[in-house]
Amino acid sequence: MKFVTTGNFNMMSAEDHARIRPIIVRGFRPARIKATEPRIQAIADELADAIVMNGSTANVVADYSHYVSIRTISAFIGVPPEDIDKFESASVELILLSAVPFEPSRPRLEAALTTVHAYVGSLIERRRAAPQDDFISDLIAIQDAGEKLSQDELIWSIVFILLAGHDTTRSQIASTARMLIDNGLWEQAYTDRTLVARALKESLRIYPAAYRFARVVEEDMTYGDVTFAAGGRVALNLAAAGRDPEVFENPDEVVLDRAAPGFDIGFGYGNHHCIGWALATAEITIGVQTLVDRLQAVTLRSPVEYKVGGTIAGPEKVEIEFQPRTAQ
């Protein structure tokens, strides 16, 4: 599957990763991320307005975080708003990449990747003809300046950012909101404007959207009493790591401002640290804070429902009851 070897930063060869990642990272300029924050706020405000107007109940995922996420990453990359529906349903299929067994899911995943690849390719050609102030235009300029990045590598890299940047963040916004509700922190987050940002690390620890990373064993190795054969697959379980009682005291409890070591791998680690972590942090913080600012007396209407399997395992249904907040 071309996407795995050419565009997926978690699975491509170490050599390609070392060459391609530094080029793509240059598109995530701090100034561009900062300039995107008012756009995130406008998107969140519009969606929160709709939730309030539509009654006293909502599904945080379907009515809010799904659209905060897809519209933010699309705007950042340079996707026109009217084009989002061309690939929106395909953008949540990346979960199938680590499905077990994989083969039954292959046709769905390949269809989704084909759809997004074709769209991104056409958008790159439009931007090459008429550059704009966006992520895609930045990368085209970097490529044209002589960086060793093929057209297919450029397309697949943007496909990966678009897909991964949507599904993970839509889940983490909903899970962070759920965590505040479950732990009686909603009203405190309204009066303490630092709480949501401080709570994000605990949200990544307890409810990681990307909870499992698949890896291929390059050479035989033994860890503890387990031997892994070369060519086999292993899954690194971040959900279990975040609740390890040997590392975290009271691991199932939310403790803001945990002392070191904390949980510093929610966005990955080292060379595989999430390249969009700063944008995602802004998006989650603004998205959750906007809900807190607009809704009060928030409770869960029903048990949270999750996706099944895959790399990304965030909630699909976080149903809430609320009252509009009268003080704005």
Within a domain: residue 237? no
φ/ψ of residue 319, rounded to 5: -85, 130
Any idea which residue has 């959900």 for tokens? 239
Q: What is the pLDDT of residue 239?
A: 87
Within a domain: residue 132? yes
Instruction: Return mean pLDDT, the chain.
Output: 89
Which of 315, 306, 310 shows the shortest CA–CA distance to 102?
310
Within a domain: residue 100? yes
Give the SS3 label for residue 151. helix
Q: What is the pLDDT of residue 8?
A: 76
Within a domain: residue 266? no
Residues forming a β-bridge with 324: 295
Residue ranges making up the domain that contains 17: 2-209+275-318
| Amino acid making up residue 218 | E
Residue 86: CB atoms within 10 A of its CB come to: 16
Percent of the chain with pLDDT over 70: 91
The band of 102, judged by pLDDT with boundaries at 50, 70 and 90, is low
What CATH number is associated with residue 190? 1.10.630.10
The band of 114, judged by pLDDT with boundaries at 50, 70 and 90, is confident
Within a domain: residue 89? yes
Q: What is the rounded average pLDDT of the residues 137-150?
A: 90
Within a domain: residue 154? yes
For the stretch 2-15, pLDDT in tens is 776 677 787 788 88
The band of 115, judged by pLDDT with boundaries at 50, 70 and 90, is confident
Q: What is the rounded average pLDDT of the residues 114-127?
A: 92
Q: What is the pLDDT of residue 113?
A: 84
User: In whole angstroms, how far apart are CA 37 and each of 30, 45, 199, 238?
Assistant: 11, 12, 19, 29
For the stretch 238-262, pLDDT in tens is 889 999 999 999 999 999 988 877 7
Q: What is the pLDDT of residue 273?
A: 86
| Amino acid making up residue 228 | F
Q: What is the pLDDT of residue 190?
A: 97
| Amino acid making up residue 327 | A
Within a domain: residue 260? no
For the stretch 25-49, pLDDT in tens is 999 999 999 999 999 999 999 999 9
pLDDT at 215 over 70: yes
Q: Report d(CA 120, CA 166) in Å as an integer.
A: 15
The band of 131, judged by pLDDT with boundaries at 50, 70 and 90, is very high
Within a domain: residue 142? yes
Q: Report d(CA 20, CA 49) in Å as an integer.
A: 41
pLDDT at 92 over 70: no
The band of 164, judged by pLDDT with boundaries at 50, 70 and 90, is confident
Q: What is the rounded average pLDDT of the residues 306-323?
A: 85
pLDDT at 202 over 80: yes
Q: What is the pLDDT of residue 100?
A: 65
Q: Is 306 exposed, middle or buried (CB count within 10 Å of its CB: 0-12, 13-18, 19+)? A: middle
Cβ 289 vs Cβ 196: under 8 Å: yes
What's the structural domain count of the chain? 1
Q: What is the pLDDT of residue 95?
A: 62
The band of 309, judged by pLDDT with boundaries at 50, 70 and 90, is low
Which of 120, 103, 112, 205 shows the shortest CA–CA distance to 156?
120
Q: In this predicted model, which residue has the larger pLDDT, 123 or 232? A: 123
pLDDT at 328 over 70: no
The H-assigned helical ranges of the chain are 2-6, 14-25, 30-53, 60, 66-77, 106-129, 135-144, 151-182, 186-191, 195-206, 238-241, 277-294
